[in-house]
Amino acid sequence: MRVAVCQLNSRDDRAANLATANELLTAAARAGADLAVLPEYVDYLGRSAGMPKPEPVDGEFAAFFADAARRLGIWVLAGSFHEIGPDPEHTYNTSLVFDRTGALAATYRKIHLYDVEIPGRVSYLESRSVAAGTEPVVVPVDGVPVGLSICYDLRFPELYRHLAVAGGARVLVVPAAFMLHTGRDHWEVLLRARAIENQCFVVAAGQIGDHEPGRTCFGRSMVVDPWGTVLAQAPDTVGITVADLDLGRLETIRSELPSLANRRL
């Protein structure tokens, strides 16, 4: 399986963000990608006052990426977007996966919400405006089980263990908008840890650069193999990075070092 991580700098212009996403998906298809992964909130990263109205799963956002997947003939994980939530005060942070025909193959709503207050550095309470999802999701991409997650989920290993063991995932995807001050110390470490402990490939697409209001994302989108080796890492710019996933190597690692089979709890 060939994968492409698409690194964006989404801002407060939804049309421009989607146009850039389309350009990157086109580049991914030309590079022979089977699956292209976009980052968290690919549609809009800006001030809440300008946020587009949340949409249903079958709204304009979904139609845009369904068309791209069908036109390009690739699987598309459309990062995440602002889905209509359970009440007027909350949306869902939702990933959609489209198959090569443009059909919606999976919907995942972010389970772990980023509620963090670090004096003098960051204060962000995602739960004020976003409702948590409840269901882990694994989707077969050309027959390969792919486990879904979004950004802050990365800090909760129990989710990935569930995806790998109960869900049978061989690939774990992480669309993200990881912030600079945590990303530079934790992003790669956590991605490699999730890959090693679950003996899965990890495909992580991040936002890069400055976003209003006063937010900077780390970028460094990457693909990690089940041994924890970084197969590919994006430079600090908007663009795509491609890697080939050797699923035979995954099975060899699981056979020679059967840590999942040896677990006791």
DSSP 8-state assignment for residue 74: S
> Tokens in use for 30?
């030309």
Which residue among the candidates 6, 151, 200, 217 is catalytic per the annotation? 151
Q: Is 217 a catalytic residue?
A: no
Note every long-range contact of 53-62, with CB atoms under 8 Å and residues 24 or more positions apart, other chains counting.
Answer: 54/82, 54/83, 54/84, 54/85, 54/91, 54/92, 55/81, 55/82, 55/83, 55/84, 56/83, 56/84, 57/83, 57/94, 57/96, 57/104, 57/107, 58/104, 61/96, 62/96, 62/104
Catalytic residue status for 53: no
Active-site option among 6, 40, 55, 83: 40
Q: Is 110 a catalytic residue?
A: yes
Residue in 6, 83, 110, 217 annotated catalytic: 110
By annotation, the residues acting in catalysis are 40, 110, 151
